[in-house]
Amino acid sequence: EVEAALIDAIGLKNLTNAKRGHGIERGRMTLSEVERLHGAQPVVVTEIPDPCMVFFIHNSYTPTQTEMEIYDSVRQWWHQVSEKNRTELTYRIALGVVDSVVIRAYTIEGWFRAGTTMSSRVYTDGRLDKWEFVGQKIDDYPLVGRRLLTAEGKPLPGMQKGYTYLRENGQQSDSV
């Protein structure tokens, strides 16, 4: 908790830390972060009509990131994205999610090998089985600011590989 508070006070950009630390839910928060965590209106994923890819970016997100840094956190370096989804673009909406709340929505216009598009980050992994998409921010997407809940009414859990698919009418799948 002390580490998270000090990192928040100094600013992640002024440190070499890759993450904000443990216990970040008790660190310094902006009003928008408090509203996001405690004021987000819930929506059950089965009520979502559009097929979406949900990207869980809680490990790379900080409230001090620029729009480009958030965009890059949502779109980059995902493994096991099926060839069908990359080529047919079945899922054209990407949701960036932190603590089960949608913080950004983007279109998915195309998929590329990781590290091959312009970015605010440097891809050093070198693996050829990771992917990134390019797209546009959707400012008025109705799910931005909403808390995603499972059919059982629980917050949508992050997936081990960092993303999941919501098919039409919100059916969740970790592989399609």
pLDDT of 8 over the 80 cut: no
Q: What is the pLDDT of residues 114-152, one digit of tens each?
A: 999 999 999 998 888 999 999 999 999 999 999 999 999
Q: What is the pLDDT of residues 34-56, one digit of tens each?
A: 555 555 889 999 999 889 999 99
How far apart, in whole angstroms, are the C-alpha atoms of residue 137 and residue 78? 19
pLDDT of 166 over the 70 cut: yes
- pLDDT of res. 158: 86
Nearest residue to 47 (alpha-carbon basis) of 164, 147, 159, 163 = 147
* 103 or 15, higher pLDDT: 103
- pLDDT of res. 22: 47
Return the H-helix or E-strand segment holding 4: helix 2-10
pTM to 2 decimal places: 0.78
The burial class, CB within 10 Å (0-12 / 13-18 / 19+), for 129 is exposed
> Which residues on adjacent β-strands are paired with residue 102?
97
